[in-house]
Every structure is written in structure tokens, then in C-alpha cells.
Amino acid sequence: MIGPETEEFEEKFSEFCGTKYCVGVGNGLDALILSLRSYIELGHMKEGDEVIVPANTYIATILAITESRLKPVLVEPDIRTFNITHDAIEAAISDKTKAIMIVHLYGQSVDVDPIKLIAKKYNLKIIEDAAQAHGASYKNDTVGSLGDTGCFSFFPGKNLGALGDAGAVTTNDYDVFQMLKSLRNYGEDIFQNLSTRKYKNSYKGRNSRMDEIQAAFLSLKLHDLKSDTDKKRDCAKYYLKNIDNPKIILPYVPSWTNPAWHLFVIRTEERDKLKIYLESLGIKTLIHYPIPPHKQKAFAEWNHLSFPETEKIHNEVLSIPLYPLLSKDNREYIVNAVNTY
């Protein structure tokens, strides 16, 4: 049952993203799945239709498509931004293409305007995987308001994290909004309160409601999201200005985006050696992500495929510490360690 805490968070988060509607769901993967399911139920796509998606992403993006019995069409990213490009999208369009799933990876917005022109030209839906991009902006707009739906994860490690799993979908489309509310609750017809509940199920939905504890916690944390993001931006700015090592490729930040900096991801051909070196100095690092989706055992049917740019990224990326409470002394220590490697 959706209660007042969830409804309050939905209202606050839609306002934050600049959309008319927000629907709280169980997690980020369900946000993606239910977006696709909404378009299927509304007749915009059907089983077997194609969804263009970056090959360089976390596997959840791909799983949402296959779970919905749609066909993922993988395309290479821009190796500088790690994100999908309009050129790659247009080259992959077929008569079965119905949607483009863009991923604002590591908290940096995709260049959306050229993609919108393609979507309009071919009558395609744009679904934003914004699981890592809470508060990021594209030109003058907030991520989550750039496509037809915006899909968020509130896993505890995200920029806006709950106590446990939670997610949300933002949209300006009333029909999608209503469909999402039904599908997250077993496909049941919409009711305003328990007294009007009829237990009528018009769709084959699922149980994916945001619970009240997560919603209440998220509402409190949303108040501090902007200030926390500004602190991460300040840290990223310091790294970009002061890391200077010819072996290291720093993140590229195009003029169109103000990233949320979910992660600060560097690249180097000596990734594994650098990781060991930094950890010997007490600097914890992570790899996001070591294996691309098309090389995972789960997608064995794709293992023969080659996406050189994607594979290069996955072989070279390393995430160094970046969080709101990282002290100035620790920033300097990290920069010095990277520079002296």
C-alpha cells in the first residue's frame, strides 16, 4: 500500500527533477522495467521490438530490456565521456526500433538534444537510466526530465541513497504515470484509498512499491542533495585541476553538462598496477565495471561480439575516492599519490 510518506517524496522528487509526475518503486531495475512495460501496455511497443542501449553500462540496463522481452541493440560509447552518442544511435536504427535507453553513466549527462531530434524523426521513446545521476544537469534542465521517462535508483551507495533498495520513475506523460502506478501494484486498477479499492487487476503487474520508511528517509536526504552534490563537484574540480600524470586520462566534461559526480573515474593502461599501488598507500579504489555486459556469462550468446571502445573502457577505468566529507588533506594525499605513481 502506498502511503503518505511515499506520496510526499514523489511530489518532492518530481519538483526537484522538473517533471509533472514521479512514481516510487522498489528499486532502480524495476524503474527501468516498469517504464518499458508501460509503453508495451500502452501499445507503443511489443515483444521483440528493439531498444538501442549503450554497450558500456552496468548490466541492469540490459536486464531491464531482456526482462521485458524486448531486444537490446548495443552500440559503442564516446570513449571520452563513456556515454552513448547520437551518431551511434542513428546508425543502429531499424524498422523494429521503438526506444532509446540512454545512460548518464557515473553521473554525467548524455548529450540529449541531438538524440531528441532522432527520436522525433523516427518516433522513438527516450528512457533515461539516471541511476547514477541524481542532480546532474544538461544545459538548463535536470536529468530525469530530458526524456519520456527518467529512471532512478536509491540504493544506499547512490548520491541520493535510501536505507535499502528503492527507485522511482519521473515523467510528464499522464498516461504513463497512471500505468506505472498500476503496474507497480500488481496491475491493479488505481484507487485513491482503501475504501475505494476494488481488487480489479487490468494488467499483469508486479509488486514494486516504495515502502514508507525508505520514502521518509529519502525526503530527509533530498533536502541536502544539492549541497552534497556541490561538495562532490568541488572535489572533482580539485582533482581535474591538480592531477597531472601522463599515464592517467582524466574525466572529460563537455560544456553541456554539470555532472553529479556519482563517481570520479580515471583511465590508465596500467589500471591494475595503479590500483595495487594506491591501496598500498591506504587509498581504496574500485572498478566500475570490470566486465562489460556482452562479455558476461549471463549473456553467453553475445560473448563473441566485439565492442572495442567499450572493452577498452572496462579494461582501463578506476574509480578514486570522491564523497562529500572527503577532507582537503585527504584530497591532497590522493592527488599526490596519483601524480607520483
pLDDT digits (tens, 9 = 90+) for 100-137: 999 999 999 999 999 999 999 999 999 999 999 999 99
Answer yes or no: do 48 and 143 share one domain: yes
Q: Domain of 315: which CATH number?
A: 3.90.1150.10
At residue 174, the pLDDT reads 98
- Out of 197, 219, 241, pick the residue that ends a domain: 219
Same domain, residue pair 210 and 239: no
**Residue numbers of the domain that contains 163:** 4-219
Q: Are residues 132 and 34 in the same domain?
A: yes
Residues 328 and 242 in one domain: yes
Provide the pLDDT for residue 191. 79
pLDDT one-digit tens code per residue, 6-31: 999 999 999 999 999 999 999 999 99
User: Has residue 198 got a pLDDT over 90?
Assistant: no
**Percentage, residues of the chain above pLDDT 70:** 100
Quick one: 47 and 190 in the same domain?
yes
280, 297: one domain: yes
pTM confidence score: 0.96
Tell me: the pLDDT tens digits for 261-308?
999 999 999 999 999 999 999 999 999 999 999 999 999 999 999 999
Domain end residue (candidates: 219, 242, 276): 219
Residues 101 and 170 in one domain: yes
Q: Provide the CATH number for the domain around residue 176.
A: 3.40.640.10
| Domain match, 253 and 124 both | no
| Same domain assignment for residues 215 and 230 | no
Regarding whether 256 and 242 lie in a shared domain, the answer is yes
Question: What average pLDDT does the chain have?
Answer: 97
Residues 33 and 66 in one domain: yes
Specify the number of domains making up the chain.
Answer: 2
Kindly state whether residues 115 and 245 are assigned to the same domain: no
* 3-class SS string, the chain: CCCHHHHHHHHHHHHHHCCCEEEEECCHHHHHHHHHHHHHHCCCCCCCCEEEEECCCCHHHHHHHHHCCCEEEEECECCCCCCECHHHHHHHCCCCEEEEEEECHHHCCCCCHHHHHHHHHHCCEEEEECCCCCCCEECCEECCCCCCEEEEECCCCCCCCCCCCCEEEEECCHHHHHHHHHHCECCECCCCCHHHCCCCECCCCCECCCCHHHHHHHHHHHHHHHHHHHHHHHHHHHHHHHCCCCCCECCCCCCCEECCCCCEEEECCCHHHHHHHHHHCCCCCECCCCCCHHHCHHHHHHCCCCCHHHHHHHHHEEEECCCCCCCHHHHHHHHHHHHCC
